[in-house]
Structure 1
């Protein structure tokens, strides 16, 4: 099992090996400490052949309990596709917003299959949201 999450390739290869053949969609989190040591790999949701419902509270509840520094989300596609669905994009944005508020480091969102993995951090597709960005979202349309 993965002990240190010190490279995208190491995490991607380990997750593909462990979960790439899973026959139904699921979502896991890798919680890490400040030294990138893996505190836990936890399945937070199990779905069907072509969908899984994940709620941010299920992810952050565990991260708080572990006193984690950061996390990586790993989601599988049994179809073999490594492309993000609209639901995947929505979840990524929700997690970015929540992690900004709760001050957890959202390190990566990975899609895996038996064919390999895609890292949104490596592709520069990971949504970056800070507390300041969230504040701007709430205040930019205010008419004071």
Structure 2
């Protein structure tokens, strides 16, 4: 059982061993406290062979209930292909906006497979969104 997250590599290897062989796409939420201690690991969605549908409310409902400081979202690709799809990237961006608004730290979006993992934070692909940029979007929209 994973208790505290010490590194991306340790987490990725643990997740790939535990969930990498799933035959359907699924998403797991890892909620953490300020010390990166794991509060909960929960499957929040299960899909088909090549897709999974999930809504941000399914993630944030659980995080608020746990009084979590932040989270990592984990998604498997049964094909073993670890590259993020367009749908993965769009959902990751949506989560980045929502987590900024909720002031919950979105630490990583990881893709796992039988033979490994990909951390989108480690590759620099996790969006960095500030509250100021969200305020700018809001004020710009209201000028229309």
Which position in structure 2 is the counterpart of 1:66? Answer: 66
Correspondence for 2:110: 110
RMSD of aligned residue pairs (Cα, Å): 1.1
- Count of aligned residue pairs for this structure pair: 144
Match of 1:87 in 2: 87
Query: Which residue of 2 is the match for residue 33 of structure 1?
Result: 33
Runs of at least 5 residues in structure 2 that lack an aligned partner in the other structure: none
The TM-score normalised by the length of structure 2 is 0.96
Structure 1: gaps (5+ residues): none
Per-residue deviation, 1:141: 5.0
Compute the displacement of 1:143 (Å).
3.5
Distance across 2 between alignment mates of 1:95 and 1:78? 22
For residue 122 of structure 2, what is the aligned residue in structure 1? 122
Distance (Å, rounded) in 2 between the aligned partners of 1:35 and 1:143: 42
Distance 2:42 2:114 in 1: 20
TM-score by length of 1: 0.96
In 1: Cα distance, 2:107 partner to 2:66 partner: 16
